[in-house]
Amino acid sequence: MELNGGMESSNNNITINPKRRRVGLIYDERMCKHHTPVEEGHPEQPDRIRFIWDALSSSGIANRCVIVNAKEAADNHLALVHTKNHIDLIKNISSKNSESRRKRIAAKFNSIYFNEGSSEAAYLAAGCVIEVAERVAKGELDSAFAIVRPPGHHAEETEPMGFCLFNNVAIAASFLLNERSEFGIKKILVVDWDVHHGNGTQKMFYNDSRVLFFSVHRHEFGGFYPCGDDGSHIMTGEGQGAGYNINVPWENGRCGDADYLAVWDHILIPVAKEFNPDLIIISAGFDAAIGDPLGGCRVSPYGYSIMLNKLLEFAGGKIVMALEGGYNLNALRNSAKACVEVLLQDKPIIGSLEAYPFESTWRVIQEVRQVLSTYWPILVPKIPDKVISKRTSHIEISSSDSDGEQENISLTVSEEVQTIEDVIQPFKNLKVNEAGQDQGGIAAPPSWRSELSNIDIWYATFGSNMNMSRFRCYIEGGQAEGMKRPCVGSMDKSKPKEIKWKTFPHRLFFGRERTATWGPGGVAFLHPKSDVKERTYMCLYKITLEQFNDVLLQENVSSYNLNHPLFDLTALQTIQNEQCISVEFVQRGWYHNVVYLGKENDIPILTMTCTLSDVDSFISGEFAINPPCKEYANTLIKGLVQGKQLSLEEAEAYIQESSTKAL
Ligand code: Q9C
Ligand code: ZN
């Protein structure tokens, strides 16, 4: 029987996080009452926030957060960035006008509609962002996500614009700086990752050095909404604010994770380090997400997770996220959910990048660095050619199946199969730490590690890990002969306490098209179900459950960050009854199914392979059955011979048989 719930059940019992991050969530159904007068399928619709709220509630994520009551903004706070006329317009638009008059007024503005719910929703959206910003500034919350609408970043001092009535983020920033100086928030970084330029916010702080406004947006040389030159990279701020306005204008759509992360690594993060904000507010539109009808870009929930996670390094993690755009309900919900999980910091972030930045992205990055280098010396050095040479000059063709043995075989169509980790900051260097950072800024290992470092298991290998020099890389890190790229290794680099060989009544077979490490040819799988007619040689390494987790991860994904175990004590207990546990977080990996093979000296024997349903896919032809390439076969044969299990001839025959016999 297969069990997918091994992880969930373990969350409560084993790894209790004593310093759970206090993440605020704020939402109010009344913000759904702002909608177009007639049903006309406007993208800025009530379901946007309903979907996010429902997803967070039904997944149990909301239960792990602090729910904050919504509040309407006070006029004097709105007046920090808006004119009295503008405030009066929004205040009265719902009550004092007929529907037809509202329509006429709306038509005077750029991309604006009003109805009888608009005033209240606008006051709530602004008030909610203020409310959570205050609590984060105070330290009552570590971070927060404001699920609000109407959005705000296009709203200008004197007028609504682009679906935005009040500039929620600008109001909250201004509020903290001007009305709540006692909290000591003197410098705020506003990161606007909505696909559109945050024209309103830019103008409100254009002369202000207390707010560093950073916006990355589709610009198309002024052809993309909100159109014009405001979003150009030459707009760097004025007067006191010179250098405190950073625009990264995409020349075209289609930008995705790799492009955004390159901007993070080569512009935003270095500048944020220098600026050293006291608090970060994210104008978190999700209209750069894959599938958004307006944005045309390709950021995945994983991409947003990493973008956010990188920002958590600053301001002591004080981050306030405020929803802006995002019009594909599904993408919006998944992206927002991924972000809240990052704020909670109690789950590993797993995924992989499937492409390099566009050539144009590197050009834009260099131009932005150039114009800002007079203010930010950290941007002066040229980005090495070696980094910039990793790029995509055309649209990617990627196979639908993006998982790899541990590599990603659908990275690029080019022959040069390398991972994006050379381009961006290696993920392993990211510090995600459930207990927060210590004084020195060095992340302490998460507590699950010490717990699982005391538990021994036998890790039984049937593939290339039978070869000792290869397996050692998964523990000690480094690169064995024939490896295309080094392994990270385990955090605990101690050698296996014992090594043993045994045979098991399971079928060994080979499948899948190719891997980046070995090229074309299948890799080894163990049929998860036992079969007394079969015999597979396996090399057993006595390692700790902590090390097993690190191996499990490296076998399935290439970039990661483990602040929660994949396979913990509860899973270990469960598997002794259930035989198999498919590990949820690495489900796209090929070896995500942990199989229990009994005990040796009273210590459980575990291996990792595919699931039974994967076996069905192999049988049906959906996944290829494929003999291994010569190099891979030789690695296994060498393992068997050096392990003194078989003679060279016997080992060759054994691999030959497994790779030719039908499943
Ligand atoms: N041809 C936000 O994402 N599009 N606003 C108008 C006119 C307006 C987007 C197109 C897009 C506004 C918050
Ligand atoms: Zn937008």
Ligand lying closest to the C-alpha of residue 195: 2
Ligand lying closest to the C-alpha of residue 111: 1
Q: Which of 36, 49, 109, 111 to mutate to test the pocket of ligand 1 (most atoms within 8 A of CB)?
A: 111
Q: Which of 36, 109, 149, 154 to mutate to test the pocket of ligand 1 (most atoms within 8 A of CB)?
A: 154
Pocket of ligand 1 from Cβ distances under 6 Å: 111, 151, 154, 162-164, 194, 196, 225, 285, 287, 324-325
Indicate which residue's Cα is closest to atom 11 of ligand 1.
162
CA of 603 to the centre of ligand 2 (A): 55
Tell me how far apart the alpha carbons of residues 115 and 579 are, in angstroms, rounded to a whole number: 59
CA of 324 to the centre of ligand 2 (A): 6
Ligand lying closest to the C-alpha of residue 227: 1
Chain mean position to CA 524: 30
Contact 603, 458 (CB under 8 A): yes
* pLDDT the model gives residue 561: 62
* pLDDT the model gives residue 443: 61
Q: Which residues of the chain have pLDDT under 70?
A: 1-19, 393-443, 558-561
Tell me how far apart the alpha carbons of residues 252 and 233 are, in angstroms, rounded to a whole number: 15
* pLDDT the model gives residue 558: 58
Tell me how far apart the alpha carbons of residues 318 and 297 are, in angstroms, rounded to a whole number: 28
CA atoms within 13 A on the CB side of 179: 17
Q: Is the pTM of this model over 0.75?
A: no
Identify the three-state secondary structure at position 188.
strand
Q: Which of 163, 197, 199, 215 to mutate to test the pocket of ligand 1 (most atoms within 8 A of CB)?
A: 163
CA of 164 to the centre of ligand 1 (A): 9
Number of CB atoms found within 10 A of residue 62's CB:
18
Residues with CB under 5 A from ligand 2 (ion): 194, 196, 285, 287, 325
Provide the strand spans (E) within 361-513: 456-461, 499-504, 506-511
289-323 pLDDT, tens digit per residue, is 999 999 999 999 999 999 999 999 999 999 999 99
Angle at 334 between CA 332 and CA 339, to 5 degrees: 95
CA of 222 to the centre of ligand 1 (A): 14
* pLDDT the model gives residue 346: 81
Indicate which residue's Cα is closest to atom 1 of ligand 1.
225
Q: What's the N-to-C CA distance of the chain in angstroms?
A: 20
Query: Is 154 marked active-site?
Result: yes
Contact 344, 337 (CB under 8 A): no
Tell me how far apart the alpha carbons of residues 493 and 499 are, in angstroms, rounded to a whole number: 16
Identify the three-state secondary structure at position 568.
coil
Indicate which residue's Cα is closest to atom 5 of ligand 1.
162
Atom number in ligand 1 closest to CA 154: 13
Question: Which one of the listed residues 153, 154, 196, 219 is annotated catalytic?
Answer: 154
DSSP assignment of 254-308 equals --BHHHHHHHIIIIIHHHHHHH--SEEEEEE--TTBTT-TTT--BB-HHHHHHHH
Strand order in the sheet with 536-544: 499-504, 536-544, 456-461, 603-609, 593-600, 580-582
Indicate which residue's Cα is closest to atom 9 of ligand 1.
162
CA of 483 to the centre of ligand 2 (A): 43
Identify the three-state secondary structure at position 439.
coil
Tell me how far apart the alpha carbons of residues 228 and 233 are, in angstroms, rounded to a whole number: 12
Contact 332, 326 (CB under 8 A): yes
* pLDDT the model gives residue 487: 79
